[in-house]
């Protein structure tokens, strides 16, 4: 039976990316050694790092005054590294979900934090609008896609202060104007590669402005000066990121990916709205293209477990919603083929035929 992987992360990767990574695990470019055992400072891995950075810059149109880094620790490590390096007196945050809350918690240990807007009043089912960003803040932090609640910011904000964005789960899913951000970061395990690598796109002019001592490993300048190789980087995940970016470029880049992602999401949202058994959880103007969250209609709530078992039996993997919201979550990241979304829709229709009153 074919498996359709809707997991929120670690998540689906393109088949050729997995296959090419597997080949490199056995033998990197015919050198007789695995990518897992070559020196990160040797020419063979340096070529991997250089190409990955170059593809990042090319596919996202990154201006020259930005650096691309690959570090460990996940996006969660950045929740403290960002204020450590950048929060001198005050920072502004937009609270749109669990990960934004975690980032806010860490920042409060380094200075004043102003939450300019929050959707906690409706269980993070929408993106706040009409908020004011304080002009004396050191930076403004946003989480562009909220995997747990299925909401997404689909615009590049204009801001009077530097914008920092956690794009863990929607990087490379659509074109972005990098020049509107001072920093973009995220874990690789959604649209880019396996868990273990953290990407950072950071602009020169925001560094070196805080008064505190910053430990060497937590200082962005350390990793910029050493090309992400101050210590051993996560070599295998970086290699897979390179293969993913090669695949993305071959398909036509982020513009093509945006069109494909929108088509997948529109199909699934349309079925959720049509189907008598299901309902979406996110406000229509805030709906995520990456993580589509839905629940049973109130009169069918007792069927939640039954549907999950039914869908799993049909090859649908990773549909269970996060414990904080329940229901279901279909993650339709870049590598998710349209056929898998169509297969899920067929399962939903079949279940409706069996159970609708």
Give residue-wise pLDDT tens across range 232-272.
999 999 999 999 999 999 999 999 999 999 999 999 999 99
pLDDT at residue 324, as a whole number: 81
Is 114 in the same domain as 204? yes
Asked if the structure places residue 2 within a domain, the reply is: no
Residue 27 falls in the annotated catalytic set: no
Is 115 in the same domain as 264? no
Is 176 in the same domain as 283? no
Residue ending a domain, among 251, 281, 314, is 251
| Separation between Cα atoms, residue 73 and residue 20, nearest integer Å | 25
| CATH number, residue 335 | 3.90.1150.10
Residue 99 falls in the annotated catalytic set: yes
Model confidence at 97, pLDDT cuts 50, 70, 90, reads very high
Give residue-wise pLDDT tens across range 225-238.
999 999 999 999 99
Asked if the structure places residue 11 within a domain, the reply is: no
Is 273 in the same domain as 334? yes
Q: Roughly how many angstroms between the first and final C-alpha of the chain, as a whole number?
A: 30
The catalytically annotated residue of 44, 122, 129, 166 is 166
Asked if the structure places residue 282 within a domain, the reply is: yes
| Separation between Cα atoms, residue 89 and residue 357, nearest integer Å | 59
0.75 surpassed by pTM: yes
Is 309 in the same domain as 230? no
| Separation between Cα atoms, residue 43 and residue 106, nearest integer Å | 38
Model confidence at 51, pLDDT cuts 50, 70, 90, reads very high
Asked if the structure places residue 4 within a domain, the reply is: no
Is 243 in the same domain as 147? yes
Total domains in the chain come to 2
Is 258 in the same domain as 194? no
pLDDT at residue 205, as a whole number: 95
Instruction: State percent of the chain over pLDDT 90.
Output: 98
Is 194 in the same domain as 268? no
| Separation between Cα atoms, residue 112 and residue 110, nearest integer Å | 7
Angstrom CA distances, 67 to 136, 199, 239, 313, 347, stand at 25, 10, 18, 46, 45
Nearest to 240 by CA among 4, 9, 3, 15: 15
Asked if the structure places residue 7 within a domain, the reply is: no
Residue ranges making up the domain that contains 76: 16-251
Asked if the structure places residue 175 within a domain, the reply is: yes
| CATH number, residue 206 | 3.40.640.10
Is 241 in the same domain as 265? no
Is 109 in the same domain as 184? yes
Is 138 in the same domain as 247? yes
Give residue-wise pLDDT tens across range 185-232.
999 999 999 999 999 999 999 999 999 999 999 999 999 999 999 999
The catalytically annotated residue of 138, 170, 190, 320 is 190
Residue ending a domain, among 233, 251, 269, is 251
276: helix, coil or strand?
coil
Asked if the structure places residue 3 within a domain, the reply is: no
Give residue-wise pLDDT tens across range 283-293.
999 999 999 99
Identify the burial level of 79 via C-beta atoms within 10 angstroms of its C-beta, where 0-12 means exposed, 13-18 middle and 19 or more buried.
buried
Asked if the structure places residue 85 within a domain, the reply is: yes
The catalytically annotated residue of 2, 43, 50, 99 is 99
Is 118 in the same domain as 245? yes
Give residue-wise pLDDT tens across range 98-134.
999 999 999 999 999 999 999 999 999 999 999 999 9
Instruction: State percent of the chain over pLDDT 70.
Output: 100
């Amino acid at each position: 039976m074919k498996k359709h992987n809707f997991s929120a992360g670690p998540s689906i990767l393109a088949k050729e990316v997995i296959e090419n990574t597997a080949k490199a695990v056995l033998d990197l470019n015919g050198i007789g050694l695995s990518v897992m055992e070559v020196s990160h400072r040797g020419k063979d891995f340096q070529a991997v790092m250089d190409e990955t950075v170059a593809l990042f810059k090319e596919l996202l149109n990154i201006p020259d005054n930005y650096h691309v880094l690959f570090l460990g620790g996940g996006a969660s490590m950045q929740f403290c590294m960002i204020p450590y390096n950048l929060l001198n007196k005050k920072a502004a945050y937009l609270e749109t979900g669990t990960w934004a809350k975690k980032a806010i918690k860490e920042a409060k240990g380094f200075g004043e934090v102003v939450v300019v807007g929050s959707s906690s009043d409706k269980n993070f089912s929408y993106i706040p609008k009409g908020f004011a960003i304080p002009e004396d803040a050191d930076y403004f932090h946003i989480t562009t896609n909220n995997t747990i609640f299925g909401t997404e910011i689909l615009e590049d904000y204009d801001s009077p202060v530097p914008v920092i964005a956690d794009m863990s789960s929607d990087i490379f899913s659509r074109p972005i104007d990098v020049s509107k951000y001072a920093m973009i970061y995220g874990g690789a395990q959604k649209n880019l590669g396996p868990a273990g690598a953290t990407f950072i796109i950071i602009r020169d002019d925001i560094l070196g402005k805080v008064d505190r001592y910053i430990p060497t490993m937590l200082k962005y300048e350390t990793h910029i000066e050493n090309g992400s190789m101050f210590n051993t980087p996560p070599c295998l995940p970086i290699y897979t990121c390179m293969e993913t970016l090669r695949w993305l470029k071959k398909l036509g880049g982020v513009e093509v990916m945006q069109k494909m992602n929108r088509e997948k999401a529109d199909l699934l949202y349309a079925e959720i709205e049509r189907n008598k058994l299901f309902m979406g959880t996110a406000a229509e103007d805030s709906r995520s293209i990456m993580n589509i969250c839905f629940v049973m209609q109130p009169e069918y709530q007792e069927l939640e477990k039954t549907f999950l078992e039914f869908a799993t039996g049909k090859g649908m993997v990773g549909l269970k919603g996060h414990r904080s919201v329940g229901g279901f979550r279909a993650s339709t990241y870049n590598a998710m083929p349209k056929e898998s979304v169509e297969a899920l829709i067929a399962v939903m229709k079949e279940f409706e035929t069996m159970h609708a009153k």
